[in-house]
Structure 1
């Protein structure tokens, strides 16, 4: 099996108004003990305003989480800025955000700079398929293997009636419409996961490594954030893009070749792919996906989107806010709310138990 992991260098954003003084690597603090009743973690009573930012893929789920947590903690408000994974991690490092949402794990370099030089960890919070979505009149779905998807996005296949597409879709009435590739213009964890899939599954057809920025030498149209690429694709006949499946709206989608079958995206198919993921030894709490799996029913273009926290924060109020929100998100109630809102695959009991332990050990820096 071929596994890959992500690295990038951090660009440090200017320090914003919200102070995040988190330092030290000790992981064994005590928190307050009143009731949250949801996550199975330490019970806390939280109030105030918690600020986070990052992956736009989480936007629909985050709406459900920020609303739902107030039912458990009426005095806690959570504000989340969907600026993209890269900008979210930069803001977390700079102290702009108390937590970050990211579709990719932090690199070792980023981890050294985060949390005032202390320790951080990842909580898998949102598991979702990335849809290969297109706008082609009269065509609702198409089959494509990894090599074909890679050839399209690399600009090697330029027309929808190309033989390579037609051979996998003998019953489709394919027009001779030009293909317009639409990709993200901003740093994006969705791009990183998508290019990681192409790098891992498409062989020599895709020669670029996984990265948060789409290869600049490839032609195509671009837009910022998930909503941007979906909107541009929807407005362009013959366009194709990649986006979090919860936000593709009325676009048609590709069933992806896995072994001898073609698998359409779904929460269950995404969860099946995550079952083969290994723990990342260089990013606490993160997972490494097997992009070349041939497991039946597994949809391989999947992302595990994280919430990234510090092990220590400057005061008890921040500790309680983070514990309350983090434990709500991973609770059965939180995951169910996100599934209803965004169609993601709920995390497993194993992931929940590991995350609960890490969240409960957050302490006040001293």
Structure 2
């Protein structure tokens, strides 16, 4: 077995990943790498030890939010472990990824929310309990396409009313008040996800917790509002519909929005645009432990009462959902090797470059490495 610390190979891996910059559909990261200050979230070296002589195939899928990062991770990993093929299907969305994981079809799933209690219970029979390991930190962007508008500010209350179909025209007084000027009149087309989505889960987590006056629905991975909405499958479906439409608004993981404009969300009187720095600040300030009780689980939830004028209000922490015990030792070894790379400092830097995400804090990466090492 040929073992090497991935950090020693970081330059080669980075070259492989950088070649992907801008190549993934909808990616904006090739032209907007994470600001240097955001890299301090994982500034200390967390190196992965991988078996470069491994062979086999990993089958995974789920979160479309992770899609650009997964493409870059897979390319960089393949450059060093030529005998391993990693297949990641992002068309499933988080809901489909978890379903396939629980059926035994996936070695791991990408999910923008941890396993629910009933899913954790179901995983006990599959593999003595599934664990959720943070691998990706980004934000949900509110995207729009309104002719002549390139700078849009909206409060959380206004966003809730728009997506709850209580505000239906761009000339509404609430939108005017948020921006200090009136926008041209035009009926709003609200674009949402039609499939089970972790992006929907994270968006409604924020609405249900932080906008209780204007959002009467519980958080969920299925869009709860019926009526005059345009429902589309996958983050790409939402982005494409907002792009091709007029007077449209929707939501998507920031890495997937391409050239679309995104809303500066007003928090404590300050318009906050998405940035890796701002979402890293959110994680530091508001992420709290939410373990599912399985040894090695690293689930988090956000306490939105801790948001400040320096934090991006709608964070998205995404996970690798993986068995704590595998039935096949070879698949366990391959999965551990790949996820160890993903949660290394090099892996996080590659995601930041190619998906515009924020590196996870060093203490989270260290805990992830420990949890991955303990997988049997």
TM-score above 0.5: yes
- The residue matched to 2:76 in structure 1 has which SS? helix
1:231 paired with 2:240, answer yes
Structure 2 CA distance for partners of 1:100 and 1:147, relative to 1, 3 Å: same
Do the aligned residues in 1 keep the contact of 2:282 with 2:307 (CA within 8 Å)?
Answer: no
Q: Deviations over 1:129-160 (max 9, x none)?
A: 11000000111121111110000000110110
1:314: how far off? Answer: 2.1
Please list, as runs of the form range in 1=range in 2, the aligned pairs for 1:283-362 lying within 5 A after superposition.
284-362=297-375
Residue in structure 1 matched with residue 200 of structure 2 by the alignment: 191
1:114: how far off? Answer: 1.8
C-alpha distance in 2, partners of 1:281/1:159? 42
Say which of 75, 78, 93 aligns to 2:83: 75
Residue in structure 1 matched with residue 74 of structure 2 by the alignment: 66
C-alpha distance in 2, partners of 1:240/1:260? 22
Residue in structure 2 matched with residue 6 of structure 1 by the alignment: none
Say which of 145, 148, 157 aligns to 1:147: 157
Q: How many pairs align?
A: 331
Do the aligned residues in 2 keep the contact of 1:133 with 1:251 (CA within 8 Å)?
Answer: yes
1:108 paired with 2:77, answer no
C-alpha distance in 2, partners of 1:297/1:174? 27
Scaled by the length of structure 1, what TM-score is found?
Answer: 0.87
1:44 paired with 2:54, answer no
RMSD (CA atoms): 1.5
Q: Which has the higher helix share?
A: 2
Structure 2 CA distance for partners of 1:48 and 1:117, relative to 1, 3 Å: closer
C-alpha distance in 2, partners of 1:315/1:185? 35
Q: Deviations over 1:160-184 (max 9, x none)?
A: 011000011114x511011000000
Q: Which runs of 5+ in 1 are unaligned?
A: 1-31
1:285: how far off? Answer: 0.6
- The residue matched to 2:87 in structure 1 has which SS? strand
Do the aligned residues in 2 keep the contact of 1:142 with 1:253 (CA within 8 Å)?
Answer: yes
Do the aligned residues in 1 keep the contact of 2:127 with 2:325 (CA within 8 Å)?
Answer: no
Residue in structure 1 matched with residue 283 of structure 2 by the alignment: 274
C-alpha distance in 2, partners of 1:315/1:253? 45
C-alpha distance in 2, partners of 1:319/1:77? 14
Do the aligned residues in 2 keep the contact of 1:258 with 1:293 (CA within 8 Å)?
Answer: no
C-alpha distance in 1, partners of 2:309/2:215? 24
Do the aligned residues in 2 keep the contact of 1:127 with 1:345 (CA within 8 Å)?
Answer: yes
C-alpha distance in 2, partners of 1:91/1:195? 24
Q: Which runs of 5+ in 2 are unaligned?
A: 8-45
1:208 paired with 2:177, answer no
1:125 paired with 2:135, answer yes
Residue in structure 2 matched with residue 250 of structure 1 by the alignment: 259
Do the aligned residues in 1 keep the contact of 2:201 with 2:222 (CA within 8 Å)?
Answer: yes
Scaled by the length of structure 2, what TM-score is found?
Answer: 0.85
